[in-house]
A and B are shown apart, each in its own frame.
Chain A
């Protein structure tokens, strides 16, 4: 009987949420600059309200557009980023490369048998790229 291995990785990137939070807060503050003079007293209230509004909105936008969820078993893997879902079978690939992007950021490049490649951002997923490459190599070789 075939052993099925299922693992899911979906780290929450707080830096991404913070970026969205800053953007949303800045946009709200920008709108406050357009407020007519006679409403100046209300500006402070709007400003105080913008922070608690921005935080959940930023989190929601992050989940809907940028959150990465990677799950795999011994036959295929699925990558979800926001609403987009991408599924590939391990046997579609012939080569597994470990690529250093910048600094200590690594990605795993999966080369299709027919040409072309798919990049798996191992560092962004919070995975150890070295051990994960070995794991993927076994899955690709097993699928071939």
Chain B
């Protein structure tokens, strides 16, 4: 949302300690793919070319992640996305331990096209993303952020 990044959507609402049933995400940001700029060209592009997709990104910091917990998160996000008609969802998990092989397989084998999943292990710096389009897109954005943060 701040200091550059690649434009994916206009995230205009953020909430900390966001609760989805019994899971509390550290942050949830929501928005849509509309451009809110004053330029005539931007307005025209927004009205005629860009679709209005609602988007949401969930972030969670935890010690380690298990397959059961991940499945639960994906299930809750999927249900919330259907209820709120959110087209694209991202789940970003920051862990402090290397994810197990089962977790990595679950992330990489994610077939839901509505959810992009990213798992970042801060101890080793390893990054695992889902192989769908949203996951790959997220990976490219995180690379970009990392480059900036090294400066």
Interface residues of A (CB under 8 A from B): 95-102, 109, 133-134, 137
Contact = CB atoms under 8 A, between A and B. Distances in A.
Contacts of A95: 15
Interface string B107-118: 000000000000
B19 to A, nearest CB: 9
Interface in B7-66: 10-17, 36
A100 B12 CA distance: 5
Contact of B13 (A98, A102, A134, A137): A98
A137 B15 CA distance: 10
Contacts of A109: 13
A97 B36 contact: no
A129 B14 CA distance: 12
A98 B12 CA distance: 8
A-B CB proximity, top 5 nearest: A100-B12, A98-B14, A97-B15, A99-B13, A97-B13
Nearest to A111: B15
B12 A99 contact: yes
7 contacts: A95-B15, A97-B13, A98-B13, A100-B11, A100-B12, A100-B13, A134-B16
Classify the secondary structure of B's interface with A: strand
Contacts of B1: 100
Contacts, number: 23
Given A96-B16, A101-B12, 11 more contacts: A97-B14, A97-B15, A98-B13, A98-B14, A98-B15, A100-B1, A100-B13, A102-B36, A109-B13, A133-B16, A137-B17
Most buried by A among B13, B15, B17, B36: B15
A101 B31 CA distance: 11
Contacts of B10: 100
Contacts of B12: 99-101
A98 B18 CA distance: 12
A71 to B, nearest CB: 24
Contacts of A96: 15-16
B16 A137 contact: yes
A134 B14 CA distance: 12
A109 B15 CA distance: 10
Contacts of A134: 16
Contacts of B11: 100
A98 B36 CA distance: 17
Interface in B63-116: none
Nearest to A101: B12
